[in-house]
Amino acid sequence: MKNPLQTNPLFISIRQLIEESKQQVAITVNAEITLLYWKVGRRINEEVLGNERAEYGKQVVATIAQQLSTTYGKGWGEKQLRQCMQFALVFPDEQIVYALRRQLSWTHLRNIIYMDDPLKRSFYVECVSWKSGHPVSYRSASNPCYTNEPPSAKNRIRLLPMIWNY
């Protein structure tokens, strides 16, 4: 038997408001964290790239990672800082980061920052954006951007300029 509260229009409406707000909070938090990671990467790159000695750069990253990990926990290790640095190198324009941060999760960005081909990165961003901000899993079989097959006809129409070199 159905719970009468579950079919109450007022309950259903309020439940929908709560769920929508929870979703917006998650999007906002992800966007701010993504921007933070980019800013951290940019700041470290400025320091490390300003002094061209590779050994100095390794020491800076290791020291900062240790200090941040002590203060904020293991999420700020050397690997995370290097991902932040790579993110800032691949996307040097802050305006692009502002646009991407609401469309792509940090998980997606972490994966695409290591793609060598800028065209593939662009294709992936467009493909995920085309899915209305609901990215599919990077390694998912349902992700048309990460198969060995050419993109579907539906995707080719919208993404035609990128597909020829895919």
Instruction: Report the length, in residues, of the chain.
Output: 166
Task: Please answer whether residues 83 and 36 qualify as being in contact, where contact means their C-beta atoms are separated by less than 8 angstroms.
Answer: no
Q: How many angstroms separate the CA atoms of 39 and 107, rounded? A: 17
Residue 34 within any structural domain of the chain: yes
Total domains, the chain: 1
Continuous segment of H or E residues that includes residue 66: helix 54-72
Residue 128 within any structural domain of the chain: no
Average pLDDT in the chain = 79
Residue 156 within any structural domain of the chain: no
Of 99, 105, 94, 97, which Cα lies nearest the Cα of 137? 105
Q: How many angstroms separate the CA atoms of 70 and 13, rounded? A: 45
141 pLDDT more than 50: no
What pLDDT does 111 receive? 86
What pLDDT does 32 receive? 95
Q: Between these two residues, 38 and 166, which has the higher pLDDT value? A: 38
Residue 77 within any structural domain of the chain: yes
Give the model's confidence band at 99: pLDDT under 50 very low, under 70 low, under 90 confident, else very high.
confident
Residue 101 within any structural domain of the chain: no
Domain span holding position 46 = 1-90
What pLDDT does 51 receive? 63
Q: Between these two residues, 151 and 68, which has the higher pLDDT value? A: 68
Residue 115 within any structural domain of the chain: no
What pLDDT does 1 receive? 53
Residue 40 within any structural domain of the chain: yes
Give the model's confidence band at 89: pLDDT under 50 very low, under 70 low, under 90 confident, else very high.
very high
Residue 1 within any structural domain of the chain: yes
